[in-house]
Structure 1
Amino acid sequence: MALTIESYDTPDALTEAFASTLTSILKTGIQTRGRASLVVSGGRTPLALFKLLSNAELDWSKVDVTLADERWVNEDDDASNTQLVKQNLLQNKAAAAHFVELKTDHADANEGINEAESNIASMAQPFDALILGMGEDGHTASLFPCSEQVQDGLDMNSGRTCIAVTPTTAPHQRISMTLPTLLNSRNIFLHLTGERKKEVLTEALDNSTEAQKPITAVINRAPVTLMWAP
């Protein structure tokens, strides 16, 4: 396990430092490989980061952006992570970035898996940067401990890029990157704010199995940088 902790006094200080770090990573990807790839997560925590990053000085036309997971809802639904990313990150200078869809037009996420996997396959990989969040149940992306699909999502030998997930403790069917897909990243960040989330993470790493707290499956297998502020 290799968890590096970067703590900041305020969420604003965290946001500024994180945006600078991501900008540098994406610039390096473009300079080194011609394109860069960024995988983000939804929720309230990254909103300020997205807004600041949207004005970063880099060639956004050479950046592919996608989501680690998505609720299986239409983009006009307020629960849509796609809507959140388009309204907060893919603005200003970052409007030139190429967004790679996880959500398809299929009625059921299981029916959209192949198309979503094909979309992701078009991106530069390993991903240059992956930003994960974590729920208070220890889930990350949409790898929920309450779901019947959690073991399939954590299977390192499944050969699948994505999985359809139906959580029992949260609304909406989901599509999520699998653990091996998440780990296929040059830089993995866990973005948390608040004392409670830090406590949950500590408890998960000390006392839980990977299926009980899926965030531990990432940290157990790859270097992860925790970006945290109170």
Structure 2
Amino acid sequence: MMQLNQFADTQALNAVFANRLTDILQQAIQERGAAYLVVSGGKTPQALFTALSQTQLAWDKVTVLLADDRWLDDSQPDSNERLVKATLLQHNASAARFISLYANTSTAFDGAPQVLERVKNLPTFDAVILGMGEDGHTASLFPCSEQIKQGLAADAPAVLAVAPTTAPYQRISLSAARLLNSRQLFLHLVGANKLAVLDKAMAGDDVYAMPIRAFLQHPVATVTVMYTAN
């Protein structure tokens, strides 16, 4: 199920989104003593991360991890981990605990078991922020990859290695089942082209052609779409 929220511009979206995430994390800390936030990389969330990093919150009780990453160490410009450390894990949020999806192995397939050990026993996430590509991929669940059926399977492991054929680098990704195990699911979209992709995703039902459908059309989970054209 999908709930679409449209905003006039990115500044308005980020202000509301940062406040909402802060409330979710604060409630988690009050009720369970800890909060778990999953974020996505790329250009879209950078301003949101900067705003969120300055919010008043017991960040030392928050655990942050990525929905996916390229198989690169955090010295590389294309590393999502590098981006998160430079934008979100700053200011007040520098006190948060971060779980890396990278291991020092030559391939993501070799490193996936190490990453799985870090992630497999985590509790239900409090909030997951997804992105979406032009091809309908989310996290690193690419329709072009041989691993897509595994990544969308109900019994998938929490973490899997992915080798997309239409994007650079091997990837490490949380599975759809692990991402869906969250109290709140968000899809963060900026740009008129993304609304067109969203409309296409809602118009069909083949999850392997557009993996974002596994979330948007899930029979139980609700995905809150935070969207602006500007």
2:151 aligned residue: 153
Alpha-carbon distance, 1:167 to partner: 0.6
Q: Does 1:43 align with 2:42?
A: yes
Cα separation, 2, equivalents of 1:87 and 1:157: 34
Structure 1: state its 5+ residue gaps: none
2:181 matches 1:175: no
CA-to-aligned-CA distance 1:14-58 (integer Å, 9 cap, x gap): 000000000000000100000000000000000000000000100
Quick check: 105-114 or 72-81, which moved more?
Answer: 105-114
The aligned amino acid for 2:224 is T
Distance 1:157 1:172 in 2: 26
Deviations 1:112-146 (A, max 9, x none): 122211212354x2100000000000000000001
Partner of 2:108: 109
Q: For 1:53, give the aligned amino acid.
A: L
**Residue 205 of structure 1 pairs with residue 223 of structure 2:** no
Q: How many percent of aligned residue pairs carry the same amino acid?
A: 47
Stretches of structure 2 lacking an aligned partner (at least 5 in a row)? none
1:3 matched residue in structure 2: 2
1:154, distance to aligned residue in structure 2 (A):
0.5
The reply on whether 1:139 has 2:137 as its aligned counterpart is yes
C-alpha distance in 1 between matches for 2:21 and 2:121: 21
RMSD: 0.9
Deviation larger for 110-119 or 148-157: 110-119
Structure 1 distance, partners of 2:162, 2:107, is: 10
Q: How many Å separate the matches in 2 of 1:6 and 1:220?
A: 17
Q: Are 2:119 and 2:159, in contact at CA under 8 Å, matched by a contact in 1?
A: no
Tell me the distance in 2 between the aligned counterparts of 1:112 and 1:127.
23
The list of structure 1 runs, each at least 4 consecutive aligned residues, that deviate by more than 4 angstroms after superposition, is: none
Match of 1:69 in 2: 68
Are residue 187 (structure 1) and residue 181 (structure 2) matched? no
Q: Tell me what 1:22 maps to.
A: 21
Mapped partners of 1:168, 1:121: distance in 2: 27
Whole-Å separation in 2 of the counterparts to 1:145 and 1:93: 37
Which amino acid letter does the alignment assign opposite residue 214 of structure 2?
Answer: A
Distance in structure 2 (CA, Å) of the matches to 1:95 and 1:227: 25
**Count of paired positions:** 227
Q: Give 1:130's aligned residue.
A: 128
Q: CA deviation at 1:108?
A: 1.1
Residues 30-87 of structure 1 show CA distances to partners (whole Å, capped at 9, x for unaligned) of 0000000000000000000000000010000000000000100121110100000000
Query: Could you tell me how far apart the structure 1 residues matched to 2:185 and 2:119 are?
Result: 17
Greater Cα shift, 193-202 or 107-116: 107-116
Distance, in Å, in 2 between the alignment partners of 1:122 and 1:165 is: 21
Q: Could you tell me how far apart the structure 1 residues matched to 2:175 and 2:120 are? A: 14
